[in-house]
Amino acid sequence: MVESPEVIVVGVDGSEPSRAALRYAASDAVRRGALLRVVAAFESAGVFGARYSVPIPVSDETIAHKIELETRALLKEVLDTLPAAPSVDIVVRPGPTGSVLVDESRRADHLVVGHRGLGDLTSFLLGSSGLHCVLHAHCTVTVVRHAESDDPVTATGSSII
């Protein structure tokens, strides 16, 4: 019986904290020999249109395609700075970021998120999506603080990396 590799899920949105989380998760995936699953969530065009009472002329598929291209570019940029790269898959899904990441955590050994992202709602100490993940994920969660250095080790703290 062949064991499946570990799966490390990392949430990205293009922000500096998510870049730091991606760097940390990629390095950790290489160290563990794990699969890195890079997850980007987006608000569905229909939900956005209904909330703001405006028709959205693009489909979720178009939005997902654009976000996937941006995520691939971000992934390449980050992996090019590392000495080795893990096996990677990319998941782009509509839905609230926290809920999408918690759902992805059901099939993961570890979930990595940035300290704050691009969302407009934030709590006092931790971004709202990160807090949702810490409270509801089905696996271990690491919250990575963005540091001025590219070395994620310099950003370590006692419980929040």
Q: Which residues contact 129 (CB under 8 A, 6 or more apart)?
A: 11, 96, 97, 98, 101, 113, 117, 119
**Residue 80 in contact with residue 24, Cβ under 8 Å?**
no
DSSP codes joined into one string, 106-131 = TT-SEEEEESS-S-S-B-SSSBHHHH
Domains of the chain by residue range: 7-155
> CATH says 7-155 is which class?
alpha beta
Question: What is the average pLDDT score of the chain?
Answer: 83
Helix, strand, or coil (residue 89) = strand
Q: Which residue has the higher pLDDT, 57 or 104?
A: 104
The pTM assigned to this predicted structure is 0.81
Examine the pLDDT at 89 and tell me if it is beyond 80: yes
pLDDT band at residue 160 under the 50/70/90 scheme: very low
